[in-house]
Amino acid sequence: MAKILIVEDNALNIKLFCDLLAAHGHQPEAVTDSRVALEKAKSFGPDLVITDIQLPHVSGLDLIRMIRSDEQLAQVPIMAVTAYSARGDEERIRAAGAQAYVSKPISVMKFAQTVDDLLNDERERAREGGTAEGEIDNPYTQANRTDDGPGPGETGGDEP
């Protein structure tokens, strides 16, 4: 389970993203006003931030830059979601500091897969960077850590 902050001004998209993430066992939290997104991120401590690019007030690109230059949040993976994918958009989004980019209308498969990839990369990075001595070489520890439970498309086995 991962804590995922969603910054999105469209209520239907918020519902869609939250439902999708919850169905994958994550803990989503949504912010509609990008002006409070940075503060919310600091208090929530997300494992991943998903942000819309077309936002009133603070744009998604500016928010990505703010997160990247914040000491506490600099390492948090960011996935951008955007409705208008003009030429050069992806480069601008990645240059601002997002690791991934999904265009709207989103493909549910692509959305879920991108979230999984980013969280796996982040776990990998955390494991390499900040684990206690001795843990890295223990194959049992590593095996346990890669066991994330049911994958996409699996129910978890609690259906009647």
Give the nearer residue to Mn ion in terms of CB position, either 47 or 52.
Answer: 52
Determine the Cα–Cα distance for residues 137 and 49; give it in Å rounded to an integer: 31
Contact 24, 150 (CB under 8 A): no
Residue closer to Mn ion, measured from CB, 65 or 104: 104
| Cβ atoms within 10 Å of 57's Cβ, excluding its own | 12
Give the residue with the Cβ less far from Mn ion, 55 or 115.
55
Q: Which residues contact 72 (CB under 8 A, 6 or more apart)?
A: 42
| 27, 32, 54, 99: residue in contact with Mn ion (rule CB under 5 A) | 54
Specify the stretch interacting with Mn ion by CB under 5 A; choose among 7-15, 108-116, 126-134, 144-152.
7-15
> For the purposes of burial, counting CB atoms within 10 Å of the CB of 6, is it exposed (0-12), middle (13-18) or buried (19 or more)?
buried
Number of residues this chain uses to bind Mn ion (CB under 5 A): 3
Q: Does 52 participate in binding Mn ion (rule CB under 5 A)?
A: yes
Instruction: Tell the smallest beta-carbon distance from residue 104 to Mn ion (Å).
Output: 9
- Count the neighbouring beta carbons within 10 Å of the beta carbon of residue 156: 8
Which residue, 27 or 54, is less far from Mn ion as judged by CB? 54
The verdict on 9 binding Mn ion (CB under 5 A) reads yes
Residues that bind Mn ion (CB under 5 A): 9, 52, 54
